[in-house]
Structure formats: structure tokens, C-alpha cells
Chain A
Amino acid sequence: MSNHLKDIILKIWRQNGPQDSGRFETYKVDEISDEASFLEMLDYLNEQLITEGKEAIVFDHDCREGICGTCSLMINGQAHGPERSTATCQLHMRKFSSGAEIVIEPWRAAAFPIIKDLMVDRSAFDRIIESGGFITSVTGGAPDANLIPIPKPVADSAMDSAACIGCGACVAACPNGAANLFTSAKIAHLNSLPQGQAERYKRAESMIEKMDEFFGSCTNHGECESACPKEISIDVIALANADYRKAKLKNKKFISRI
């Protein structure tokens, strides 16, 4: 049966729009079931605020199943909070205890401007995908799906990289605000598959250069990997960098054959 936590103190970042300077405000949740999720605790607080005639705290969320990548939040300085490989929406109050003081902030990164309170604008990620994170294949022209056998280990490792949910925790956790894990995961997914070969080097080149327009540079801290709710391995960065370097070689005709 569920237990109840008491007297949770929340220090939450409030910012009334992109231009506002923002500040922390302190709230108290008197009692909450430990079966509640972290976001359900915020729902409950918001209900309380509305009852008091105050404006609810804005935060992004949708699926609450750890798959859509909409939720965010720095919880006590950690992207998605204390539980490994868990997005904020899958974090439960049973991970906290009565009397806990919890600091909640938005993702902090130059490329993710704050929209309001805890919500940020992650559309720079979309710009990266638009620059090359796809395989060109016009609807209707595809050959039979079983025409190209793909060894299971290749398909499996492509899937490991493709599991990225685009939440931005990697950027928020990185001291440089770099997006190499996000960008490289997509490059690794598509570049490892036979279907992705035709655009392989062009893809690596355009995506990495688009990324550099918005994000800081990677200095191999590895914080991204530990913050990633899907445990995407930092190895993808090496793979993407290797393809990027090859793309920069002059003899592109040659490398297109290796």
C-alpha cells in the first residue's frame, strides 16, 4: 500500500516570459502519496495554486511514459532528476522522503531559450534534423522491404541509437551546452544502415555544421551519457566524428566507395 510523504519544500524557477529575468519561488506540498509521479506532484501543486487564485507553473510534458521527450526539468541540479535512465515523467515520489527540499529549474542552455517558467524552446533540434537527419526516399518508390537483408547486430545497434527521444537532457547536462549526443545518435542510426549510405557523408557534414550554429562544442565530459534517459552511448559521437572527418576529405569520390 502507498505511504504518504509530508512537507516537501519546492524551490521552483518562475519566469514570466522570455524577457523576464526570473527568480526562485518556494512552495510547500503538505502531503503526497509516494505512488504519485513527480509530475503528478506538480499537478497537485498547480491545483493548489489555482485554488489560491495564482497562476499555475508552466512545464512541458505529454506522454508521461518516457517516450515523447517533452518533459524536461533540472531536479536538484540533475537533468531528469536522481534516477538513472529515467525521464522526469517516469520519476516517482517514492525516490524522495518527507521533508525533502527539491530545487526545480528549466534546462539551461544558450540554444534553449526559456519560454516561461520551466518550459524551454528546443526547436534548434528540429533545425538539425531538417538539415540532414533523414533518408531521402520519396513516398511510393520503395523496393520490397526484404530485398536488403540487414544483419541483426546492425539493426540492433541502429535501434540503440534511434531510441533517442530528443528531450535535450544531454545539452542541459553538458557544461558547454553541446548537442553532440543528440546529433550523433541520429547520424549513427542512419549511417549504420545500408539505406543510409547514399547520403552518409553529406548527412554527417550538414548536421554537424548546423549543430555548430546553435550549440557549444563537445570537450568529452561525458555528462550527456549519464543524463540520457535512454542510455545512448557516447560512442555514437566518435562514429559521427569519423564520418564528419571523412566528409571533409577532398577525395569524396573515393570515400563514397569505402
Chain B
Amino acid sequence: MSTQLNSKIPAGPLGDKWASYKEDVKLVNPNNKRKFKVIVVGTGLAGASAAATLAELGYQVDAFTFHDSPRRAHSIAAQGGINAAKNYQGDGDSVHRLFYDTIKGGDFRSREANVHRLAEVSVNIIDQMVAQGVPFAREYGGLLDNRSFGGAQVSRTFYARGQTGQQLLLGAYQQLARQIGLGGVRLFNRTELVDVVTVEGRAAGIVVRDLMTGEVTSHAAHAVVLATGGYGNAFFLSTNAMACNVTAAWRAHRKGAYFANPCYTQIHPTCIPQSDEFQSKLTLMSESLRNDGRVWVPKNPDESRRVVDIPEEDRDYYLERLYPSFGNLAPRDISSRAAKRLVDKGQGVGPLKNGVYLDFADAIARLGKDVVEERYGNLFEMYERIAGENPYDMPMRIYPASHYTMGGLWVDYELMTSIPGLYAAGEANFSDHGANRLGASALMQGLSDGYFVLPYTIGNYLAPMLNKAIPSVDHPEFKAAELAARERFNGYLNIGGTRSPDWFHREVGKIIWDYCGMERTEQGLEKALSELPALYDEFKKDLRVTGSGESLNQTLEKAGRVDDFFQLGMLMCRDALERQESCGGHFRSEYQTEEGEALRDDDKFCHVAAWEWSGDPMTAKRNVEELEFENVHLATRSYK
């Protein structure tokens, strides 16, 4: 029997739920807040904003990051922008419209109440970030400028050149730095969470490894927040930063936190195609480029003319042809699959025939080179640096790549995981994007969770714990977890095999990409589920980690992360196999419409799959949370 999950959604009309939750929530008196310690792991947008805000409120906060500084978190790399229902352009935007676009974009696989709250607080985020000095783009009159993004017909995306994530993260980091300076937050940098500790079913703290000395220690707290990002690097090649990993979420999962919808991963349509076998990561070209760039391939797979000599009639602007009302701004999953089909048919472009064109010639003719440069200059430069071609003269070549993970730790309306006192925020949770995330919505969700949701919901959990003792780091559960962590890391060092962690990462990533990537089949997933455990056995026997565990050792760090990717990979494939429908980023070839679009099965799969650890990912138990739609009609997603 599967357990029914309680998402604790407040009663009442959709638009009033969050307001009434806030009115009813238990409060901790300002003088008592300092009696509570909260651990925040991760200092990206979600973690930094949560840690800073909790400290402002008066809680004692310990923040952890494996980076040398909070400013390095992967959030820094977000380029395109952040959505908010401000309706500054007067083009008909509203909280309801942002809510609806997000639900529809997620292919009706997210929770109405969470998404509505996200749309409501989106407007506060922009106010907050502007007050902190984030230099968003402005119009000549001095007001904020907006652009549009995939999956929306209004301009609601705020941006700071092509560096929106950088500017937002620096804003949140600076607010966090202020609290560190004031003593409200203690920061532990270059420190990696290696286990979560529970005592009597509640989160009691964490075990960490100091990356500089290898020392393993414990930290106890009243509540623990994981804001540790997504797991897109399971594919090895992705647009994520090199160090992004699933360890924190996975270790929490192994301690009882349910892992929701691991197969919902997003493949981003506009990345620079792979160029050679040494490639260590893929680079994203912001989706905002699709505002002005036109996507096409030559109609003839054997086209041999220079690209600029190919006449209009021999080009297939396939997104404009297939999806006339959204055109080049069709959502990510749809655009990605369209590109894959053409490349699979041999119509790909570039030396390896592994890309499609994104062409700015029309935009340059229409707007002038200066305007195009103003909008996208730094992206064009980045492209030229990597690909060695100038996009003002030659169309860019793009291809889809792993980019974002909608799946993550299962959380209820309060962002609490299935372990009381353990919260998950930002990309690490599964909460708001259903089966597909719309562009410019991850930054919004991370900041919403950290600034405007957690600071309320944590109080509700802490209030009844006032003046009650919590387990200290001497508790046997902490000692046992420390011992297990030390043994695990010594274990990697002692295998003495022949292959590096990177070698295994590449191999495991390839299996996951081939069978659990853009298109999945029952047969392929079963193959993956027989290959992954076999390769994992080899990992345990043939891994080679050089150096020692007593000083900084990046090979050893990597070994721990790859171990967790193996286990997660198996769960991703099992989740993809069990979900016998197509929705959003999860595309099962067996379930598609005649036109090749995702075919949902709302009778059987209108639910969240929340996996419960059983000692082995191959036997994890699948629990479900039914999704109830009271305010939107379950429609077939159409962007035609």
C-alpha cells in the first residue's frame, strides 16, 4: 500500500489561502527567536535569501556552502531574467495569468496552491531586489524594462543585461554578508554536507566534511533547510556548474525524506552543441535570445551552400511553422524535442551536424546592430569565445542540453519535507514547476521560498519547541552518522581500482542521457535499469581515488558526488518507467499524440510520485500525492 501524503494546503479560495495561512500561523516572539538555531545548507538564491531573512528576524543561523564564498553559487550563472506579475507594461498581466501560465507550462502536474502563492509573492521579490540595489534594465524614462520569455504572451521578465542571476545572487549575498558582519549568521564555507541526522523522526542536524582538512563534524539545530540546488549534472554534460550535485538531497532521502518526480528534468533548447570528446560541460545561450532570433534548419539534409547563401524558401523555420501563435517562443520541452527530431532526421547543422540555427539576421535588419548588441551583446561575445564564430555574421548553432531539474525533495505547502523539521527550498525541492519549468521562473521560486515563504513557515514548526531541549552533537545518532561518513570516504580511498570518479561520471551520465533524456521508452529504461546497477558495482570495485583524506582532495569530493548520482540515476529511470504517460519534460515515446506532442493520462497519473528510501534505489517505494485541480481546467497544452 502506498502512503497518502498530506500536503497541508490551507482551506479556502485559492487567492486567499496564503493570506489566511499567514494570519493563522504560529508566531515566535521576537525575543525568543534567538533561542532557536536554524541550519541553512546552500547559499544560492534560495539559501542566501532564507539565511539572511531568518537572521534579520532574530534566529541564530548557521549557513553552509561547499563553495569558497556564497557569491559563487550556481544561481550566479542564470542569464535571462526573473518573472513577476507586475504588469508594468500594461499588457494584461496579472497574478492569475502568471499562475495559469506556470500551471499550464508545468503540464498540469504541479500544485495549484503553491503556484498561486508563487505568483502572488513574485511582485514582492522585484521590490525587494530593487531596494537592495540590483541594477535591473531600465527604459529611458527611468522605469523598469521587461522582456518576454518562452511560454508567455506578456512581457513580465525583469533582467539585468544577460546576467540576471549574477545580480540577484549578489543582492542576496550582500544581504547575507551584512548579517554575517552583524553576527546573525555564522558562515561555514568550503564545507560539504555529507549526511542529515534525525532523532526520533525529527531533523536534528547535519554531518559535514571540511573540504580543506577532511575533518568530519556534526552540527545540531532546531530546524534544517536544504537549499542545495538541482541534480542536472546526473547527465554529466549539462549547463550546470561543475560542482552542482545531488548529495545533500540524496543523503536526506536516505534518511527518510521522500524524493518527488525525479524523472522530471528539463532539457534547455538553446545550448552550444558539443564540439569534442574533452567537453566537460555545455554552455547555455539564454532563452531570451529566442525573442529576436529565428530558429531554422535547411530543408535539405545534404545542403552544402554557405549558410548565408541558403535562400528563404530552402529554410525550415520549424517552430514558426509548427506553433504559429508562440513561434520561436514555444516552451522549452516542445522546442527541444522539435530540434532533436530534425537532428535525428539528419537535418542538423555544423561540423558534427548536431545543432540547429538561431539566426539574428532579421533582427539586425529590423532593429539595427546597436539594439541587438545592447540586448544580447555579452551573450554574443560568450558564443564567439566558445564556438569561434561571430553571431552578428553567422547564425548561432544551438542544441538542447540538460539544464534544470523540476524533481527534487518532496515538500508540503510549508516547504517541509517528509522529515519534520527538515525543509527544502529552491531547485532542491519539487514544488512549483510540475513537469516543466517556464523560463525565468526558477530565480523567482528560489527567492520566493527563501524570502517570503520559509521565514513564515519555519516559525510555525519552531513555536511549540520553545524551551524544549534538542539533541546535542553527542547524541549517538550524530556519532553513528559521523562514523559512517568517515568510513564512506575512507572506503573510496581504499578501493584502489583503476578508474577515476570522472570516468564513472561520464559513463553513468551517458546511460542516463541515452535512456532517460529527451525521449524515453519502456525498453530503453529497462536497459538502463540493468546497466546502471552493473556499472555501480564496478564503481564500488574499480574506483581509484589518489591523494589522501586529510587534506583538500577534489578527486575524493567527486567520488562521493558520483556515488550519489549513481543511486539517483536508478531512481530517475524507475520513476520514468512507472510514469506511463508523457508530460512536460518527461516524454515517453509510447505516449504521444498523432502530431508527436506529449500525451498525458490524467486518469492514472494526475499525481506526484514521492519515492521512499528502502535501502536500495532499485526497490524504493512509490507513494503518491493526488493533484486536485479546482481552479483550472485540465487542458491539453497547446502552443499552436
Contacts and interface: CB of A to CB of B under 8 A. Distances in A.
Interface stretch (A103-111, A150-158, A245-253): A150-158
Contacts of A121: 68
Contact of B278 (A33, A58, A116, A119): A33
Given A158-B135, A195-B130, A134 B178 contact: yes
B142 A150 contact: yes
B126 interface: yes
A39 B142 contact: no
A67 B77 contact: yes
B261 to A, nearest CB: 26
A35 B136 contact: no
A69 B173 contact: no
A163 B313 CA distance: 42
A225 B638 CA distance: 51
A177 interface: no
B455 interface: yes
Contacts of A135: 131-133, 174
Interface in B253-300: 275-281, 283-284
B223 to A, nearest CB: 18
A258 interface: no
Interface stretch (B339-347, B549-557, B577-585, B600-608): B549-557
Interface in B95-138: 124, 126-133, 135-138
A5 B565 CA distance: 34
A86 interface: yes
B69 A125 contact: yes
B232 to A, nearest CB: 13
B311 interface: no
A155 B138 CA distance: 7
A184 interface: no
B53 interface: yes
B52 interface: yes
Nearest to A160: B135
Contacts of B129: 145
Interface string A41-68: 1011011011101111010111111111
Measured as residues with beta carbon below 8 angstroms from the partner, the interface class of chain A is 35 or more
Nearest to B374: A156
B interface, how many residues as a size bin? 35 or more
A155 B276 contact: no
A141 B128 CA distance: 8
A158 B547 contact: no
Contact of B135 (A51, A140, A149, A193): A193
A65 B130 CA distance: 26
A115 B242 CA distance: 20
Contact of B130 (A62, A66, A92, A142): A142
B76 A68 contact: yes
B128 A56 contact: no
B142 A133 contact: no
Residue from B126, B129, B177 having most chain A Cβ neighbours under 10 A: B177
A56 B546 contact: yes
B97 to A, nearest CB: 19
A40 interface: yes
B561 to A, nearest CB: 13
Nearest to A90: B385
Interface stretch (B160-168, B408-416, B463-471): B160-168
A134 B174 contact: yes
Interface string B45-82: 00001001100100000000001111111101100000
Contacts of A1: 351
A63 B278 contact: no
A95 to B, nearest CB: 10
B615 interface: no
B321 to A, nearest CB: 31
A14 to B, nearest CB: 12
Given A40-B280, A135-B133, A142-B127, A68 B72 contact: yes
Contacts of B167: 159, 162
Nearest to A150: B142
Interface of B: 49, 52-53, 56, 67-74, 76-77, 86, 88, 124, 126-133, 135-144, 160-161, 163, 165-167, 170, 173-175, 177-178, 180-181, 187, 189, 212, 241-243, 275-281, 283-284, 351, 382, 385-386, 388, 451-452, 455, 498, 500, 502-503, 544-547, 551-555
19 contacts: A33-B278, A39-B280, A41-B278, A43-B278, A62-B241, A66-B385, A68-B71, A123-B189, A133-B174, A133-B177, A134-B175, A135-B132, A139-B49, A139-B53, A140-B452, A152-B139, A155-B138, A162-B170, A195-B131
Interface of A: 1-2, 16-17, 32-33, 35-37, 39-41, 43-44, 46-47, 49-51, 53-56, 58, 60-70, 86, 90, 92, 94, 115-116, 119, 121-123, 125-126, 129-131, 133-146, 149-152, 155-156, 158-159, 162-163, 165-166, 189-190, 193, 195-196
